[in-house]
A and B are shown apart, each in its own frame.
Chain A
Amino acid sequence: MRAYVEFAVKKFQDKMAYRLDFFMGIVNTAITIVVYLCIYKALYGGATEVDGISYRMVATSFVITLGLSNAFHFNEMFLEHKIHDGSITNEFLKPVSFLFRMLAENIGEGVFKLVFHFLPALLFTLLHTKLCPPKSAPGLIAMFISVAFGYLILWLISFIIQTWSFWLFSVWGIMTIKNVFVNILAGTLLPLWFMPTALRKIISFTPFESIYFTPVRIYLGELNGSQILSGIAVQVLWIVTLGIIANLFWKRGIKKLVVQGG
């Protein structure tokens, strides 16, 4: 375990080295927040509530989702590059699990973005916009748990597609299409409250709802008590399901692996 924490910390420090990127990341996030809040305000057009959802709830949900989606962003071509240049073979010689090392590094990068891109941008937003405070302390703790699970779900989906690079020449196209699905169905572009009813129903049967929307709803107090538990239970169910699928592809993929040259 300590080795993996070390990987995460290393990646974090790695990112610290690029100061300009770091500063621009904050500016970028702040501008994005301001712009999208303008868009939602214009959509609301002066109405205080739409379908029982206040503007402030939408703003809060957008800011949380943006922060999480920033943090949940990592290099999805990692495995493909490792396979193409053959360096994946070195990874198998090391005394740590390649899979967990990848996860640890991605988490390290995510925590960096959360702390240094998102938090300053959030503070800046709070200067000019009122957001909803957390509903309750236990709710906040439940939200953090659900954020971690949401991350795992998204990471596993991405990992499954990454393993396809054992068979395909390039997974870039499929990865791009996957990201479109995530952006729309997980509510990064438009909160799921405002989706057409039929689409919303379909989304509830997919893992996408569990990524950002469950943590957001827990934070806002839209889910409480037993609903929180069932929301998290659904997340766990998806993690187990996707984990099994990921493991299957990974095991098959390694067997299939042929590295040329030497």
Chain B
Amino acid sequence: MGEIRVVLQSLKMSIHTRMQYRVDSLVATLAVFIRESANIIAIYLALLKFDRINDWNVNEMLFLYSILFLTYAFVVSLFADLRQFSDTIREGRFDRLLVRPRSLLLQLILNNADLIASAGHGTLGLLLFVISAGRVGIHWDFVTVLYYIGAIIGGILIQGGMFIVFSSLCFYFVETGSIRDIFYWNMRKFAGYPISIYHKLIQGILIYVVPFAFVNYFPAQYLLRKEDMANYPAIYIYIAPFVGIIVYAAAYLFWRVSVRRYYSTGN
């Protein structure tokens, strides 16, 4: 019970901090929303002209994209301190956690919440979901709803796991920003399209290295059953919700090993 009280307390603190600057928060949320919409608008305009991409129509594309936004809305608040972990270390915020009687990772997860980004990504994700979910021919029943929720949680764990791995790298290398840019941010952008259109190497990276394919492509395939799924083992769409648990557990172990190498940058 004590843990839950800590969680609620820290969330309340995050909201309080943001509400000190109401207008600024609103403008920033709007800016995040519009910035993230850019790719969506581009896809929409492209499909006005080309109609389909590898047989995926515009609604199916929006549905595929909506999963990325919905999962990221949770990830960005839960793992806010791990997003730019080298900054967290450099500013000495990590040192502060070392002296407290709770697990380090738990503290990092609870500590900060980027609610602005969450609101921006979340609104966009919900909007895309509402627009597309009814038009892509999914028969929503108990099993599909359960699968969908499982896939969202799995997607959050996969991306959280990746954040933890990239953060752990900070204990080995001084500057990891550019590696993270390529392997997280770029790959996330690519995951907005059906991965079957890509070069084999990039498909491999998206499935096995930074497994974004299990965040949105395979879950979407479970619900949509497009033909390009024939390129991949059918089992992938069933294990998608569970991949998150494995990725997260592996990331956690890597973190435990890496954090021992830490000695403070200060003094």
Are B34 and A31 in contact (CB-based, < 8 A)? no
With A24-B179, A35-B190, A42-B53: A196-B31 Cβ-Cβ less than 8 Å: no
In the bound complex, residues from chain A placing their C-beta under 8 Å from that of B32 are: 176
What per-residue 1/0 map shows which CB atoms of B175-219 lie under 8 Å from chain A? Answer: 101110110001000100100011100100000000000000000
Say if the beta carbon of A21 comes within 8 Å of chain B: yes
Does chain B have a CB within 8 A of A137? no
Residue in A27, A35, A44, A172 whose beta carbon sits within 8 Å of that of B31 in the complex: A172
Assuming the contacts A34-B202, A45-B50, asked whether A27 and B182 have C-beta atoms less than 8 A apart, the reply is: yes
Contact digits for A10-52, partner B, Cβ 8 Å, 1 yes 0 no: 0000000000110011011001101100110111110000110
Please indicate the chain B residues that have their CB under 8 angstroms from the CB of A21 in the complex: 175, 177-178
Total chain A interface residues with beta-carbon distance under 8 A: 36
Give bound CA distance, A45 to B54, whole Å.
Answer: 7
- Separation of A158 and B28 alpha carbons in the complex (Å): 18
Q: Are A24 and B50 in contact (CB under 8 A)?
A: no
Closest to B30 in A: A173
Does chain A have a CB within 8 A of B49? yes
List chain A residues, Cβ under 8 A from B190.
35
B41 proximal to A (CB < 8 A): yes
* Given the contacts A45-B52, A177-B31, A189 and B39 also touching, CB distance less than 8 Å: yes
Interface residue ranges of A198-225 to B (CB < 8 Å): 199
For residue B192, which residue of chain A has the nearest CB?
A: A39
Q: How many residues belonging to B are interface residues under a CB distance threshold of 8 Å?
A: 34
Question: Cβ of A173 and Cβ of B46 under 8 Å apart?
Answer: no
For the residues of B in contact with A, the DSSP-based class is helix
Answer yes or no: A180 CB below 8 A from chain B CBs: yes
Contact with A along B3-39 (1 / 0, CB 8 A): 0000000000000000000001001101110110111
Contacts A28-B186, A43-B53, A180-B34 known; A20 to B178 CB distance under 8 Å? yes
> How far is A170 from B26 in the complex, measured between Cα atoms in Å?
13
- Complex formed: what's the CA distance from A190 to B50 in Å? 12
Instruction: Give the contacting residue for A196; candidates B48, B178, B186; CB below 8 A.
Output: B48
The residues of A that contact B186 with a CB separation of less than 8 Å are: 28, 31-32, 35
B45 within 8 A of A: yes
Q: Are B28 and A42 in contact (CB under 8 A)?
A: no
The answer for the CA separation of A190 and B47 in the assembled complex, in Å, is 11
- Is residue A183 contacting chain B, with contact meaning CB distance below 8 A? yes
B235 near A: Cβ within 8 Å?
no
A42 and B197 contact, CB distance less than 8 A:
yes
Cβ-defined contact, A173 with B27, below 8 A: yes
Distance in Å: Cβ of A246 to nearest Cβ of chain B = 22
Q: Residue on B with the closest CB to A37?
A: B199
In the assembly, what is the distance between CA of A27 and CA of B178, in Å?
Answer: 10
Contact in complex: A50, B202 (CB < 8 Å)? no
Report which of A24, A43, A183 forms a contact with B46, defined as CB distance below 8 A: A43
Taking the closest CB of chain A, its distance from the CB of B23, in whole angstroms, is 9
A21-B182 Cα distance, complex, nearest whole Å: 11
Contacts of B27 in A (CB 8 A): 173
Chain A residue nearest to B197 in the complex (CB): A42
A184 x B182 contact (CB < 8 A)? no
- Chain A residues, Cβ within 8 Å of B45: 184, 190, 194-196, 199
**Which one of A31, A42, A170, A190 lies within 8 Å of B24 (CB-CB)?**
A170
Chain B residues whose C-beta falls within 8 Å of the C-beta of A183 in the assembled complex:
38, 42
A27 CA / B205 CA spacing, docked (Å): 14
Q: Is the CB of A34 within 8 A of B199?
A: yes
Residues of B within 8 A of A176 (CB): 31-32, 34-35
Contacts of B53 in A (CB 8 A): 39, 42-43, 45
A34 to chain B: closest residue by CB: B199
Set A25, A184, A196: member contacting B42, Cβ < 8 A: A184
Taking CB atoms and an 8 Å cut-off, the chain B residues in 22-80 that contact chain A are 24, 27-28, 30-32, 34-35, 37-39, 41-42, 45-46, 48-50, 52-54
Sorted nearest first, the 10 A-B pairs with minimum C-beta distance are A24-B178, A189-B42, A42-B197, A173-B31, A176-B31, A194-B49, A173-B27, A43-B50, A180-B38, A38-B198
Which positions in B face A, CB cutoff 8 Å?
Answer: 24, 27-28, 30-32, 34-35, 37-39, 41-42, 45-46, 48-50, 52-54, 175, 177-179, 181-182, 186, 190, 193, 197-199, 202
30 residue pairs from A and B, CB less than 8 Å apart: A20-B175, A20-B178, A24-B178, A27-B182, A28-B181, A31-B186, A35-B186, A35-B199, A35-B202, A39-B193, A42-B54, A43-B46, A44-B50, A45-B50, A45-B53, A172-B31, A173-B27, A176-B31, A177-B31, A177-B34, A177-B35, A180-B34, A183-B38, A184-B42, A189-B38, A189-B41, A194-B49, A195-B45, A196-B45, A196-B48
* A residues lining the B interface (CB < 8 Å): 20-21, 24-25, 27-28, 31-32, 34-35, 38-39, 41-45, 50-51, 169-170, 172-174, 176-177, 179-180, 183-184, 189-190, 194-196, 199
